[in-house]
Structure 1
Amino acid sequence: MEEFGRNFDKALDDKSLNEKEHEKIEYFGFLKNKIEYDLVLNKYKTYCFSALGKEYLESLSPYNIDAQQELSYVSELCDFVRANGYPTSDAFIDVRPILQKIADGLLVEGEEFLLLLRFLIGVKSLREMFKNQRLFNLQNSVVNFVLKIGNYDEIIDRIRQVIDDNGKVKDSASLLLKNIRNEYSETLREIRKRVERFISQHQNLLQENTYTIKNDRYVLPVKANERGKLKGIVHGSSSSGSTLYFEPEELIQLNDKLRILSEEEAKEVARILRELTSKVFDRLQSLLGDIEILKRLDGLFAKVRYVIEKGGQIIFPGGNYLKLSKARHPLIPEDKVVPIDIELPTDKLGIVITGPNTGGKTVSLKTIALSIVLARSGFPILAGESSRIPNYDVYVDIGDSQSILENLSTFSGHIVNIAKALRLADENSIVLIDELGSGTDPYEGSAIALGIIEELIARRVKFIVTTHLTPVKLYSMSHDKLITASMEFDPETLSPKYRILMNIPGASHAFEIAQKYGLDSRILERAKEHLDEEHVRIEELIKNLNKHISELEQRKRELENTLRDYQKQKREFEEKYKLLKIKKMEEFDKELREVYKDIQKAKRDLQITLQSKNTESEQLIKKRLKEIEGEVKHIEEVQEKLEKVFYETALSEEEKSIGIGDSVTLVDGTAIGKVVDIKGSKVIVDFNGIKLEVKPEKLKKITLPNVLNSESTKHQTQVPKIPAKVYSSGLTKNEIDVRGMTVEEAVEKIDEFIDQLLMSDFTIGYIIHGKGTGKLATGIWNHLRHDRRIKNYRFGRPDEGGVGVTVIEL
Structure 2
Amino acid sequence: MEELRKNLHNDTDSKSTNEEEKLEYLEFLKKKIEYHLVLEKYKNLCYSSLGKEYLDSLHPYNVDAQQELSYVAELCDFVRANGYPPADAFIDVRHILQKVADGLLVDGEEFLLLLRFLLGVKSLREMFKNQRLLVLQNSVVNLVLKIGNYDEIIERIKQVIDENGKIKDSASLLLKNIRNEYAETLREIRKRVERFISQHQHLLQEATYTIKNDRYVLPIKANERGKLKGIVHGSSSSGSTLYFEPEELIPLNDKLRILTEEEAKEVARILRELTSKVFDRLQSLLGDIEVLKRLDGLFAKARYVIEKGAQIIIPGGNYLKLSKAKHPLIPEDKVVPIDIELPTDKLGIVITGPNTGGKTVSLKTIALSIILARSGFPVLAGESSRIPNYDVYVDIGDSQNILENLSTFSGHIVNIVRALKLADENSIVLIDELGSGTDPYEGSAIALGIIEELIARRIKFIVTTHLTPVKLYSMSHDKLITASMEFDPETLSPKYRILMNIPGASHAFEIAQKYGLDESILQRAKEHLDEEHVRIDELIKSLNRHISELEERKRELENTLREYQRQKREFEEKYKLLKIKKMEEFDKELREVYKDIQKAKRDLQITLQSKNTESEQLIKKRLKEIEGEVKHIEEVQEKLEKVFYETALSDEEKNIGVGDYVKLIDGTAVGKVIDIKGSKVIVDFNGIKLEVKPEKLKRVATKNIVTSASSQTKPEITNEKRIATKVYSSPLMKNEIDVRGMTVEEAIEKLDEFIDQLLMSDFTTGYIIHGKGTGKLATGIWNYLRHDKRIKNYRFGRPDEGGVGVTVIEI
Taking structure 1 as the reference length, what is the TM-score of the superposition? 0.90
**Deviation for aligned residue 1:397:** 1.5
Q: Deviations over 1:66-123 (max 9, x none)?
A: 2222222222222221221112111111111111111111111111111111111111
Matches within 5 A, 1:522-561: 522-561=520-559
**Deviation for aligned residue 1:256:** 1.1
When residues 731 and 375 of structure 1 are mapped into structure 2, their CA distance, relative to the original with a 3 A threshold, is farther
User: Which secondary structure does the structure 1 equivalent of 2:248 belong to?
Assistant: helix
**Contact kept in structure 2, 1:211 and 1:220, CA below 8 Å:** yes
Q: Deviations over 1:385-421 (max 9, x none)?
A: 2222222222222112222333332222222222222
Identity over the aligned pairs, expressed in percent?
84
User: Which secondary structure does the structure 1 equivalent of 2:243 belong to?
Assistant: strand
**Contact kept in structure 2, 1:314 and 1:381, CA below 8 Å:** yes
Q: Deviations over 1:173-214 (max 9, x none)?
A: 111111111111111112112222222233333222222111
Matches within 5 A, 1:319-718: 319-600=317-598, 602=600, 622-653=620-651, 655-658=653-656, 667=665, 669=668, 671=670, 673-674=672-673, 676-679=675-678, 681-684=679-682, 692-700=690-698, 707=702
What letter is aligned with 2:143?
A: F
Q: 2-side partners of 1:566 and 1:230: how far apart?
A: 99
Match of 1:176 in 2: 174
**Deviation for aligned residue 1:672:** 5.4
Match of 1:261 in 2: 259
Q: 1-side partners of 2:449 and 2:671: how far apart?
A: 65
Match of 2:83 in 1: 85
Q: 1-side partners of 2:285 and 2:620: how far apart?
A: 73
Match of 1:742 in 2: 743
Bigger mean CA deviation after superposition, 405-414 or 610-619 = 610-619
**Contact kept in structure 1, 2:357 and 2:485, CA below 8 Å:** yes
Bigger mean CA deviation after superposition, 58-67 or 728-737 = 728-737
Q: 2-side partners of 1:419 and 1:758: how far apart?
A: 78
Q: Cα RMSD between the aligned structures?
A: 3.2
User: Which secondary structure does the structure 2 equivalent of 1:245 belong to?
Assistant: strand
Q: 2-side partners of 1:10 and 1:768: how far apart?
A: 62
When residues 683 and 366 of structure 1 are mapped into structure 2, their CA distance, relative to the original with a 3 A threshold, is same
What letter is aligned with 1:336?
A: K
Bigger mean CA deviation after superposition, 452-461 or 751-760 = 751-760
Bigger mean CA deviation after superposition, 6-15 or 456-465 = 6-15
Match of 2:780 in 1: 779
**Deviation for aligned residue 1:663:** 6.9
**Deviation for aligned residue 1:589:** 2.6
Q: 2-side partners of 1:323 and 1:116: how far apart?
A: 47
**Contact kept in structure 1, 2:485 and 2:499, CA below 8 Å:** yes
What letter is aligned with 1:30?
A: F
**Deviation for aligned residue 1:368:** 1.0
When residues 585 and 775 of structure 1 are mapped into structure 2, their CA distance, relative to the original with a 3 A threshold, is same
What letter is aligned with 1:65?
A: V
**Contact kept in structure 1, 2:673 and 2:681, CA below 8 Å:** no
When residues 728 and 251 of structure 1 are mapped into structure 2, their CA distance, relative to the original with a 3 A threshold, is closer
Q: Deviations over 1:527-563 (max 9, x none)?
A: 2222222111111111121122112212221221122
**Contact kept in structure 1, 2:133 and 2:802, CA below 8 Å:** no
**Deviation for aligned residue 1:466:** 0.9
Q: 2-side partners of 1:113 and 1:663: how far apart?
A: 68
**Contact kept in structure 2, 1:372 and 1:390, CA below 8 Å:** yes
**Deviation for aligned residue 1:298:** 1.2
User: Which secondary structure does the structure 2 equivalent of 1:48 belong to?
Assistant: coil
**Deviation for aligned residue 1:803:** 3.5
1:318 equivalenced with 2:330 (yes/no)? no
**Deviation for aligned residue 1:685:** 5.5
What letter is aligned with 1:73?
A: Y
When residues 755 and 472 of structure 1 are mapped into structure 2, their CA distance, relative to the original with a 3 A threshold, is farther
**Deviation for aligned residue 1:333:** 0.8
Bigger mean CA deviation after superposition, 74-83 or 612-621 = 612-621
**Contact kept in structure 1, 2:770 and 2:778, CA below 8 Å:** no
User: Which secondary structure does the structure 2 equivalent of 1:126 belong to?
Assistant: helix
Structure 2 residue ranges without an equivalent (≥5): 713-728
**Contact kept in structure 1, 2:322 and 2:381, CA below 8 Å:** yes
Q: 1-side partners of 2:533 and 2:311: how far apart?
A: 44
**Deviation for aligned residue 1:576:** 0.6
Matches within 5 A, 1:60-139: 60-139=58-137
What letter is aligned with 2:579?
A: K
Q: 2-side partners of 1:754 and 1:460: how far apart?
A: 69
Q: 1-side partners of 2:144 and 2:737: how far apart?
A: 19
**Deviation for aligned residue 1:674:** 4.7
Q: 2-side partners of 1:251 and 1:563: how far apart?
A: 91
What letter is aligned with 1:778?
A: T
When residues 293 and 674 of structure 1 are mapped into structure 2, their CA distance, relative to the original with a 3 A threshold, is same
Q: 2-side partners of 1:303 and 1:465: how far apart?
A: 31
Q: Deviations over 1:353-382 (max 9, x none)?
A: 111111111111111111111122221111
Bigger mean CA deviation after superposition, 624-633 or 159-168 = 624-633
**Deviation for aligned residue 1:423:** 2.4
**Contact kept in structure 2, 1:736 and 1:753, CA below 8 Å:** no
**One of 757, 761, 767 as aligned partner of 2:769:** 767
**Contact kept in structure 2, 1:67 and 1:377, CA below 8 Å:** yes
**One of 278, 281, 284 as aligned partner of 2:282:** 284
User: Which secondary structure does the structure 1 equivalent of 2:328 belong to?
Assistant: coil
Bigger mean CA deviation after superposition, 573-582 or 184-193 = 184-193
What letter is aligned with 2:121?
A: V
**Contact kept in structure 2, 1:734 and 1:757, CA below 8 Å:** no
User: Which secondary structure does the structure 1 equivalent of 2:577 belong to?
Assistant: helix
1:239 equivalenced with 2:237 (yes/no)? yes
User: Which secondary structure does the structure 2 equivalent of 1:406 belong to?
Assistant: coil
When residues 112 and 552 of structure 1 are mapped into structure 2, their CA distance, relative to the original with a 3 A threshold, is same
What letter is aligned with 2:554?
A: K
User: How many residues matched?
Assistant: 790
**Deviation for aligned residue 1:432:** 1.2
Q: 1-side partners of 2:809 and 2:72: how far apart?
A: 28
When residues 677 and 254 of structure 1 are mapped into structure 2, their CA distance, relative to the original with a 3 A threshold, is closer
Q: 2-side partners of 1:33 and 1:344: how far apart?
A: 25
Q: 1-side partners of 2:770 and 2:455: how far apart?
A: 55
User: Which secondary structure does the structure 2 equivalent of 1:465 belong to?
Assistant: strand
Q: 2-side partners of 1:792 and 1:458: how far apart?
A: 75
User: Which secondary structure does the structure 2 equivalent of 1:129 belong to?
Assistant: helix
Taking structure 2 as the reference length, what is the TM-score of the superposition? 0.90
Bigger mean CA deviation after superposition, 480-489 or 449-458 = 449-458
**Deviation for aligned residue 1:690:** 6.9
Q: 2-side partners of 1:673 and 1:115: how far apart?
A: 69
**Contact kept in structure 2, 1:609 and 1:617, CA below 8 Å:** no
**Deviation for aligned residue 1:627:** 4.1
**Contact kept in structure 2, 1:134 and 1:734, CA below 8 Å:** no
**Deviation for aligned residue 1:263:** 0.9
Q: Deviations over 1:228-252 (max 9, x none)?
A: 3332222222222222222222222
**Contact kept in structure 1, 2:45 and 2:304, CA below 8 Å:** yes
When residues 81 and 755 of structure 1 are mapped into structure 2, their CA distance, relative to the original with a 3 A threshold, is farther
**Contact kept in structure 2, 1:108 and 1:277, CA below 8 Å:** yes
